[in-house]
Amino acid sequence: MPQSAKPSLALGEAIAPPSGVELPALFRTEAASRVLDVETLGRLERLHRKLEPIRRELLFCRTERQRHWDQGGLPAAPSDAEARAGRDSEWQIAPLPPDLLRRRVEITGPVDDAKMVLNMLSEGADGLMADAAMLDFEDSMRPTWANVLRGHENLLAAVEGTLEYRRPATTSRPAKTYRLDSSRTPTLMVRCRGLHLDEPHVLVDGQPLSAGLFDMALAFLRCGRTLVAQGRTPAFYVPKIESHQEAGWWSSLFRELEVMEGLPTGTLRATFLIETLPAAMQMEEILYRVRLHAAGLNVGRWDKIFSDIRVLMEHPDRVLGDRATLTMDRRWMHGYAQRLINVCHRRGAFAMGGMSALTPGQSGQKREAQRAGVLADKQSEAALGHDGCWVSHPYFIGTALAAFSDDHQLDRIPEAPPLDVLLPEGGGPYTLEGLRENVRVGIAYLEGWERGRGCVAWDDRMEDLATLEISRVQTLQWLRHAVTLQDGRTVDRSLVEEVFAKETESILDPLVATGASSHAIKRFRRAAATAVALYTETPPRPFLSLLEDGRVEIEPVSWGAVSRNIHLDHEERT
């Protein structure tokens, strides 16, 4: 029986799921009945019981390490025997399958949006196509239950070649249905959620599943055999890793899934995003732990900046300057990318570059400047030795492809800098414009979040959760250390609230002038009220934590007289 035809868990079904597994009544939806079946729930239960205690211990270790860093310590290379084996012994990852040997440009986007998935998997207007498409359950998707389930439906339809999107009719144009041309598509990859996140909509013994386990297991169990039958590799991205022990947890999950499906070791391949400062200090050890399933490592530049700030929040000598100045030219960022390429290529793995997060500007002049910037960025990555890169919009695929002339550069092994070069260096510039940019990102992103989006096009950039997190923790770090801006002003709560008030009005003024709906105006006001609470929270949370329905788990706050025009009373919020 085809996997997509497995008996489903019927809506309102009286027969209970496997012992200990619970789907609360609120989440037993029609979509859930299409995606989940009793057999799959049983497998999720077994995986949870085997791996969840280890995950909880790993998360506890994260907390303990952060406590050490908050007291003045610094991330360093691990010294245990397994780590030494990863650094000192001779080894290579398992040989890469043919369909993962050309990844010059990968395009990314939220898996829950069928239109965006179709765009990622199809030729652009210029006839060009990315080598790979990464369908994202993580930073670009708001993880509501409906979005998660829709994402898994879109993924299966993409694998089976049946994905379509129906554009609704308007007064000026008729409805139209777009369908996937399955005869020519990029290599398909899936990014699951990170180790630290829960999936609260499926419980085992009252405890939520790991969100990453849920995403990866469901994707592999529903699509893995179909992909193998098509001659394609089930390929994944794993985010937010912090240690080689965590890599071992993921490796165990990979093997458990292969055994469940009766597939050989190494059928599943994964690229790990090295996007945290702790992981940057042990990328070779991480790759060693997943060597039988590895496809490569990725320079996750935006989340890495977020991690740099979050990990070293309490270090007054490492307060970073404006987000816009934290480029790959900074010594520690350049060294991190150079070391990643060295490690990957010595061990036979791909070294993927970072994201170009631009969206096309409105004018031809703006777009030309953007293309030049993207080309320079990607040429720099190619010159350093990367095998490929990311873009967030199809418009820039051709520009990025022009920078990578070869299928890969596995034979290029740059010198690896010492680990202490990877530690971020404090220093400005600290400017009011930098604070304003952080504030605008927070308002824009959280307004999109309220509309069910996990990424928003804003000021000619695609902002996702990573860039929101940079903006949030940088503002908190500047507050924590009372940074003095170039204009002589000190960053304190009063200044942050003042900037929020002014930026909110600067966003709303053109909306009001063009007749935006009252609902749109209220969304931006609610987003601003929530963002200012997150940006001034004491103590700050390590990650943006979510309620079961995907709302930000924090109440908007009153800012006093300076913000009276944008603060919402209780009735308006409800």
Catalytic residues: 191, 464
Q: Using H for helix, E for strand and C for coil, what is the string for 85-152?
A: HHHHCCCCCCCCCHHHCCCCEEEEEECCCHHHHHHHCCCCCCCCCCCEEEEECCCCCCCCHHHHHHHH
Q: Look up tokens 């990957």; give the residue.
A: 344
Element (H, E) at 18: none
Amino acid at position 452, single letter: G
Across the chain, which distance is largest between two alpha carbons, in Å? 70
The token duo for 536 is 């001034």
Amino acid at position 198, single letter: D
DSSP 3-state assignment of 370?
helix
Query: From start to end of 369-412, where are the E strands?
Result: 388-391
Closest by CA position to 97, among listed 292, 298, 251, 353: 292
User: How far is residue 436's CA from residue 77's CA, in Å, rounded to a whole number?
Assistant: 36
Element (H, E) at 473: helix 465-480
* Residues contacting 247, CB < 8 A, separation 6+: 241, 272, 285, 286, 287, 289, 290
Q: Look up tokens 């007749």; give the residue.
A: 515
Query: From start to end of 279-339, where are the E strands?
Result: 294-299
User: How far is residue 18's CA from residue 41's CA, in Å, rounded to a whole number?
Assistant: 7
Compute the CA torsion angle 365, 392, 301, 379 (nearest 10 deg).
-60
DSSP 3-state assignment of 347?
coil
Q: Using H for helix, E for strand and C for coil, what is the string for 234-273?
A: CEEEECCCCCHHHHHHHHHHHHHHHHHHCCCCCCCEEEEE
Query: Would you say 34 and 7 are in contact if contact means Cβ atoms under 8 Å apart?
Result: no
User: How far is residue 361's CA from residue 97's CA, in Å, rounded to a whole number?
Assistant: 38
The token duo for 424 is 């971020």
Backbone angles phi, psi at 557, to 5 degrees: -120, 160
**Cα distances (angstroms) measured from residue 388 to each of 104, 304, 351:** 4, 18, 7
Instruction: Sort strands 294-299 and 350-356 into parallel, antiparallel or unpaired.
Output: parallel
